[in-house]
C-alpha cells in the first residue's frame, strides 16, 4: 500500500517516512562449478533434474519475495483511472497509488513549462508515497513532460503515447490513422512523431477535442449534448478515411461506447490506457519489480481538490470501489 503521512478525507493512521523501507530484491543463486570429471549419462540426467528443481525453488522464492511497493500513477483528473482499471485487470497483485491533480484539471490548455512543473511536483508526491515506478497516465504530460521526468526521477517512468502509437500502427489496415486529444497533446505532434518512427508511410490526422475532458469530469458520459459535440469532432476524421482512431487522452476511453456508436465497426479504436498497462507489465518483469504472488493489490487514491463527481464516475463507468480519498496540497 502507499505509505505517507497526509490526512485523508476520512482520517486514518498513516506510516511515517522513517518507517518506510523498500522490500529487498530477491537474489539469484550462484551457479555450481562444472564437474572436474565427465559424468555418466545417469549422472548428467540427475544433475539436470537437480538444476531444474533448484530453478523452480528459486522462481517460487522470487515470487514470494518480490517488490510489494506500489505503482504510482498520476493524471490531471479522473482520466488516469482508465489506466488504473486496466492495470488492476492485468496485474491484480500490484498495489497502486493514484494521484489526480483535480485542483488544476485540465492540463490540456496549459503551457509546456507549466505541465512540466505540475508533473514534477506530482511525481515527487508519488515518490514520498514509496512508488517503485511511475506511470504518467496523461497524454498531455506524456507529450510535454516525460523526458524531464525520465531525466530527473530516480525510478522508471512510463508514458501513454509510445504504447498507443505501437498499437495503432499494428491495427491500421489502410495506413491512415486518426488521433484525438487535448490541444496541448495535438499541438506537440507527439503521436505523429511516435508513429512516424514506427512506420513513416502511415498517414496521421490529428484533431484537438478541448470540450471532452470537462464533459467527462462532470460525468456527462451518456448525453445527447456529448454525442453532438463528439460528432463535430469526429466527422472530419471519418471524411478523411481513417480506419484507426487513437483515443489520445486517458479521459476518452470513458466515452468509448458513445464513440463506438458514432463511428461503427469500420474504425478500430485504440485505447492508450490498455496499451499502457501492457507496457507497465513488461517493465515490471524486465526491471525485477513484480509484486509477490501472494500480494493483495491495494488501491489508494489521492486528489489535490475534494472529490465531486470523481467518485461517482469512477464507480459507475469503471466499477472501481475507491473508498476513502486522501487530499494532497499543491502549490
Euclidean distance between CA atoms 183 and 266, whole angstroms:
26
Catalytic option among 2, 209, 249, 276: 249
- Exposed, middle or buried: residue 10 (CB in 10 Å: 0-12, 13-18, 19+)? exposed
Euclidean distance between CA atoms 279 and 92, whole angstroms:
15
Catalytic option among 97, 138, 209, 276: 138
| DSSP per position, 153-215 | -SS-EE-SHHHHHHHHHHH-SSSEEEEEE-HHHHHHTHHHHHHHHH-TT-EEEEEE-TTHHHH
Residue entry with cell 460525468: 219
Euclidean distance between CA atoms 274 and 318, whole angstroms:
13
Q: Has 276 been annotated as catalytic? A: no
Rounded (5°) CA angle 113-145-119: 80
Euclidean distance between CA atoms 106 and 145, whole angstroms:
15
What kind and span of H or E run contains 99? strand 96-100
Q: Has 249 been annotated as catalytic? A: yes
Tell me the catalytic residues. 138, 249
Amino acid at each position: 500500500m502507499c505509505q505517507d503521512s497526509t490526512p485523508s478525507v476520512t482520517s486514518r493512521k498513516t506510516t511515517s517516512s522513517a518507517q518506510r523501507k523498500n522490500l529487498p530484491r530477491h537474489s539469484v543463486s550462484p551457479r555450481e562449478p562444472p564437474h572436474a570429471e565427465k559424468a555418466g549419462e545417469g549422472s548428467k540426467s540427475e544433475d539436470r533434474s537437480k538444476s531444474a528443481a533448484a530453478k523452480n525453488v528459486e522462481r517460487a522464492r522470487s515470487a514470494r519475495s518480490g517488490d510489494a511497493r506500489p505503482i504510482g500513477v498520476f493524471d490531471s483528473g479522473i482520466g488516469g483511472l482508465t489506466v488504473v482499471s486496466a492495470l488492476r485487470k492485468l496485474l491484480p497483485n500490484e498495489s497502486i497509488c493514484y494521484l489526480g491533480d483535480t485542483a488544476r484539471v485540465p492540463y490540456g490548455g496549459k503551457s509546456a513549462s507549466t505541465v512540466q512543473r505540475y508533473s514534477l511536483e506530482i511525481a515527487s508526491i508519488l515518490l514520498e508515497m514509496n512508488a517503485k515506478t511511475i506511470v504518467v497516465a496523461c497524454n498531455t504530460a506524456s507529450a510535454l513532460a516525460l523526458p524531464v521526468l525520465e531525466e530527473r526521477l530516480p525510478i522508471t517512468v512510463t508514458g501513454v503515447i509510445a504504447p498507443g502509437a505501437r498499437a495503432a500502427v499494428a491495427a491500421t489496415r489502410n495506413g491512415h490513422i486518426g488521433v484525438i486529444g487535448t490541444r496541448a497533446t495535438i499541438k506537440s505532434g507527439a503521436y505523429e512523431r511516435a508513429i512516424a518512427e514506427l512506420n513513416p508511410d502511415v498517414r496521421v490526422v490529428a484533431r484537438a477535442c478541448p470540450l471532452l475532458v470537462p464533459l467527462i469530469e462532470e460525468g456527462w458520459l451518456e448525453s445527447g449534448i456529448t454525442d453532438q459535440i463528439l460528432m463535430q469532432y469526429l466527422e472530419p476524421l471519418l471524411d478523411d478515411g481513417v480506419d484507426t482512431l487513437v483515443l489520445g487522452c486517458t479521459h476518452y476511453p470513458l466515452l468509448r461506447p458513445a464513440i463506438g456508436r458514432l463511428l461503427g465497426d469500420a474504425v478500430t479504436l485504440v485505447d492508450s490506457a490498455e496499451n499502457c498497462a501492457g507496457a507497465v507489465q513488461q517493465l515490471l518483469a524486465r526491471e525485477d519489480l513484480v509484486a509477490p504472488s501472494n500480494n493483495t493489490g491495494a488501491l489508494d487514491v489521492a486528489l489535490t481538490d475534494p472529490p465531486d463527481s470523481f467518485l461517482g464516475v469512477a464507480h459507475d463507468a469503471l466499477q472501481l470501489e475507491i473508498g476513502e480519498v486522501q487530499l494532497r496540497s499543491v502549490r
